[in-house]
Amino acid sequence: MADIREDGSEIFHYDIPDFPLSIKHNYIPANVVLTDLSIHWHEDIEITYVVSGSVYHQLNGKRVKISAGEAIYINSKQLHLIEPHDEDCELYCLIFHPMLLCASNYVSTKYVLPIVENENLDYFFLTDSNADHKEVLDAIIKIHSLEEDEAFELKTLKILNELWISLYGFLPKAEASGQYVNEDLHKVQKMLAKIHNCYYEELSLEDICSIGEIGKTKGTEIFCQYLNMTPVEYLICYRLEIASRMLIDTKDSVTDIALRTGFSDSSYFARAFKKRMGISPLKYRQERKIENE
């Protein structure tokens, strides 16, 4: 499980904390079952570039397919989750904090914040058939190729700035005044923060919606809009995700894990777990133990 702040946003842990950039070359098998299915958001910018196959991103309630030769720019603080598709996928994932681009307040104000703080920009499609976009995609591969270079950080900063110059040329920017604020998204993020921070407590729909200062009907409506499930359904999924980790990482009994993740009844927990994961909690623990060994 990722570490999260009080507002529910993810704290992304970089290999070098003072150099907040990560570049990964990943393979996602077709129809793989992912146990970490909690939607998340973070201050960092994320760009996913699909080299072969295809994958889905759930983004602020939209399910977006990304195929070979395509990429998606995910702006800061957007709700997102990657989902496998019915074919193998090879992709590059670049994540970096905007501070890397901010050599001064002037540069930050003129070239970074107008994009990062544009609440009309949740994501943007890139394709290698577009010459301007391809400059960004080529830069991602260049950064990955430098991982073993002794001057990785210096060379990466050069390429990252070139990448941002390209993005700055075509990404929409926020106006200096009258900027649109997505209040519904902020309310959903507050509701998610309540679930992530208090999942082990007895939480009702009213408890979750009240943190967003919104009624149960409207709260359920906007939550479904962004996550395609109700707040209570998400709460159960998140509890099961935590429980699946505990089954692997601890020797606690199933009953104890059920109670520690907010389930008052271990039988109900077992039924919900099997419905979600396809196997019982004990069977899940046994199979993961064998895999780890």
Predicted confidence (pLDDT) per residue in 81-115, tens digit: 888 878 889 999 999 999 899 888 888 889 999 99
Q: What integer is the mean pLDDT of 45-66?
A: 92
Q: What is the mean pLDDT of residues 110-132?
A: 92
DSSP 277-289: HSS-HHHHHHHHH
SS3 content of the chain, % helix, strand, coil (to 5): 45, 20, 35
The arithmetic mean of pLDDT across residues 220-238, rounded, is 88
Q: How confident is the prediction for the chain on average, in pLDDT?
A: 88
pLDDT of residue 177: 42
- Distance, in Å, from the CA atom of 70 to the CA atom of 56, rounded to the nearest integer, reads 12
CA distance 84 to 89: 8
The pTM score is: 0.71
Q: Classify strands 89-96 and 21-28 as parallel, antiparallel or unpaired.
A: antiparallel
Looking at per-residue confidence, does 8 or 212 come out higher? 212
Task: Say if residues 93 and 71 touch (Cβ distance below 8 Å).
Answer: no
pLDDT, tens digit (0-9, with 9 covering 90-100), for 243-271: 998 999 899 999 999 999 999 889 999 99
- Whether the per-residue pLDDT at 179 is higher than 80: the answer is no
